[in-house]
Amino acid sequence: MEGKTSFRKWIILLFILGITFFLVNISLGSVAIPFPEIISSLFGGEVSKESWRFIITDYRLPKAITAVMVGSGLAVSGLLMQTLFRNPLAGPFVLGLSSGASLGVAFLILGAGAFGGWVGNLLLSEWSLVIASAVGSFLVLLAVVAVTLRIKDTMAILIIGLMFGSVTAAVVAVLSYFSNAEQLQQYVFWSFGSLGNMSWYGVLILSMCTILGILISFVLSKSLNALLLGENYARSMGVRIKRTTLTIIITTSILAGGITAFAGPIAFIGLAIPHITRQIIPTSDHRILIPATLLTGAIVMLGCDILAQIPFSEYTLPINAITSLVGAPVVIWLLVRKRKLMF
């Protein structure tokens, strides 16, 4: 009973910390806006300058919500993959979803360059990049699902997913080689990842994908707990291994694929956050781990976005660079410890 109370306290603390980081994130930017004005704008009150309201409601607030969705979605999808494969170095993109999204965007950019003119501009619009990324991830997902239906060994699925990722990455490399400097620059900028410049409609669709994936993850929590002890034990507990494996893969695809489509490939969050969460809350119960992981992921992503903004400057660092600086030391620490966490 005391353990559950302690875990509940940690969840409440993480929630409060998340709200704090959310407000700090909205407060920072190239334009200095007094904090009382920000609070007033968020609750529909009077604001001294109408331009401040526009900056808050049309730029900073969507970006902060996107950071929350990206961080929580990638963190939960990483936890699902690490549990399914019982591998602490598995992440949400081990199935090749990120590489598939990159392939879709690479084909689009190269094709747009070939068409040129207004057709090229149409192909390179915001939604066309989102659709191309989603289609690329979906095609890789179909291939992985087809393999999953034929193969029972989860480690074989992991290896095949990595091979799919290698093949798509190789095709992207070939396309990049034959692209001109402008096309290559467009692709590189997309690969940096971005939390801003998203409309409220885009934020709504991203939020729907993320919330759907997280809700399914909660439903799977008991099956995930059983899988931690091995497939034979899970099978003895009544878990249908093939159906559960397929559901976990599809859920991860909804989370990681949707996030990559809207925000680009975001590195290390899905890999590092589950381990950080386990260090904060030492438990293997997914009914506790899932909410703790999604809150930790949101906090870390908001923090990375704060670091990327360079306060009171018009420059913003690539979000992928910041997440890598945060996540890479965690992965190195895992390798140095030379032992698997919780497995």
Query: Residues 143-156: what's their mean pLDDT?
Result: 75
CB-CB neighbours of 239 under 10 Å: 19
Residue type, 37: E
pLDDT band at 343, cuts 50/70/90? very low
Alpha helices in 178-240 (DSSP H): 181-191, 200-219, 221-227, 231-236
Residue 215 has pLDDT above 90, yes or no: yes
pLDDT at 111: 61
Count of domains in the chain?
1
In a domain, 120, yes or no: yes
Top-ranked range on mean pLDDT: pick from 74-78, 161-165, 244-248, 265-269:
74-78
Residue 119 has pLDDT above 50, yes or no: no
Residue 341 has pLDDT above 50, yes or no: no
> 155: domain CATH number?
1.10.3470.10
Tokens of 123: 């192909």
In a domain, 65, yes or no: yes
pTM score, whole prediction: 0.87
pLDDT band at 75, cuts 50/70/90? very high
Per residue in 264-299, pLDDT (tens digit) is 888 888 888 998 888 888 888 888 999 999 999 999
Residue 243 has pLDDT above 50, yes or no: yes
In a domain, 343, yes or no: no
**What whole-number distance in Å separates Cα of residue 98 and Cα of residue 268?**
12
pLDDT band at 312, cuts 50/70/90? low
Residue 256 has pLDDT above 50, yes or no: yes
**What whole-number distance in Å separates Cα of residue 80 and Cα of residue 220?**
9
Least confident of 15-29, 273-287, 299-313: 299-313
In a domain, 79, yes or no: yes
Residue 36 has pLDDT above 70, yes or no: yes
Q: Indicate the DSSP class of residue 256.
A: I
In a domain, 108, yes or no: yes
Tokens of 222: 């008991």
In a domain, 342, yes or no: no
Higher model confidence: residue 109 or residue 74?
74
Cα distances (Å, whole numbers) of residue 137 to 22, 161, 308: 30, 12, 27
The whole domain housing 332 covers 2-337
In a domain, 329, yes or no: yes
pLDDT band at 112, cuts 50/70/90? low
Query: Residues 132-152: what's their mean pLDDT?
Result: 78
CB-CB neighbours of 2 under 10 Å: 6
Least confident of 102-111, 191-200, 263-272: 102-111
Q: What integer best gives the mean pLDDT of the chain?
A: 81
Radius of gyration of the chain (CA): 21
Residue 97 has pLDDT above 70, yes or no: yes
Residue 84 has pLDDT above 50, yes or no: yes
% of the chain exceeding 70 in pLDDT: 89
In a domain, 308, yes or no: yes
Higher model confidence: residue 17 or residue 112?
17
Least confident of 120-129, 194-203, 318-327: 120-129
